[in-house]
Amino acid sequence: MLVIFTRALILYFLVVIVMRIMGKQQIGELQPYELVVAVMIADLGAVPMQNTGIPLLAGIIPILTLLISQLALSYISMKSIRGRELICGTPTILIEKGRLLEAQMRKERYNINDLLEALRNQGYYNIADVEYAILETNGTLSVIPKVEKRPVTPQDLNLNPPYEGLPLPVVIDGTVDFKTLKAANKDFAWLKGQLKAFGISDVSEVLLASIDSSGNLFVQAKEVIK
């Protein structure tokens, strides 16, 4: 039993590390070759985990081989345009200037229902509102609406709104992130004073506290468990 537990633990951490090295893409954002590698790595890790008669190295070596192969393909796709086209393919235009390109849809085996569903998922319910629809190499659909159907922006109204940066979470689940607090040019004394203004006497009572680009503090206290 201890042997099985140890083997499972080793393979689990190996697969986690390998997947971490491969990158942070979500499953829907993986290129086809990346998805194949991810599935194969998971399968290779499961076989020696279940069967103790198979040497542990029989699972570790193929996993590391696939990792090296994936990193090599990723490097080629980053450095070579031709290599990227061969490995990942190229985007395909399905709608051009408001017209469906039937030949391209047949080539990609992408039917009308799939296209309409993908457009609805992007918030476009009328195909007449779409100027371009592009099928990306990872299978997602990018949509460029017609000019008159695009959302109004401050630039369209000749407005110049103030800069709005990324809010910085300084307290998460009762724990102060002093590094983030310092990046916001604030200190712990300032934080305690601000929390008191919200009626919070101790940082451990805070679920989330974040500072926006204007220096304003958002605070939400933890729920009291009855």
DSSP state of 223: P
User: Within the chain, where are the H helices?
Assistant: 2-22, 32-50, 57-79, 81-88, 102-107, 112-121, 178-183, 188-197
Give Cα 101 distance to the centre of its chain. Answer: 30
How far is the CA of 171 from the CAs of 145, 189, 191, 198, 217, in angstroms? 40, 14, 9, 14, 11
- Per-residue pLDDT of the chain (226 residues), as tens digits, is 677 788 888 888 888 888 788 776 555 566 777 778 888 888 888 878 777 788 888 888 888 998 888 888 888 888 888 888 888 888 999 999 999 999 999 999 999 999 999 999 999 999 999 999 999 988 889 999 999 888 888 888 888 888 778 899 999 999 999 999 999 999 999 999 999 999 999 999 999 999 998 888 999 999 876 6
Q: Is 192 helix (H, G, I), strand (E, B) or coil?
A: helix
Residue 8 φ then ψ, to 5°: -65, -40
Give the model's pLDDT for residue 192. 92
- The closest of 99, 151, 100 to 124, measured between CA atoms, is 151
Q: Cβ neighbours of residue 62 under 8 Å, at least 6 residues apart?
A: 44
DSSP state of 199: T
Q: HSE on the CB side for 46, CA within 13 Å?
A: 6
Give dist(CA 214, CA 184) in Å, integer.
10
Give dist(CA 183, CA 175) in Å, integer.
16
Q: Are strands 168-172 and 175-176 parallel, antiparallel or unpaired?
A: antiparallel
Give dist(CA 88, CA 74) in Å, integer.
10
How far is the CA of 159 from the CAs of 41, 127, 147, 155, 164, in angstroms? 52, 31, 19, 6, 14
Give the model's pLDDT for residue 12. 85
Fold observed for domain 168-221: CRO Repressor (3.30.240)
Give the model's pLDDT for residue 17. 86
**Do the domains 92-149 and 168-221 sit in the same CATH topology, yes or no?**
yes
- The closest of 165, 159, 173, 148 to 211, measured between CA atoms, is 165
Give the model's pLDDT for residue 210. 95
Q: Is 207 helix (H, G, I), strand (E, B) or coil?
A: strand
Fold observed for domain 92-149: CRO Repressor (3.30.240)
Give the model's pLDDT for residue 218. 94
Give the model's pLDDT for residue 28. 56
So where are the chain's domains?
2-86, 92-149, 168-221
Q: What is the pTM of this model?
A: 0.67
The residue written with tokens 């319910």 in the block is: 125
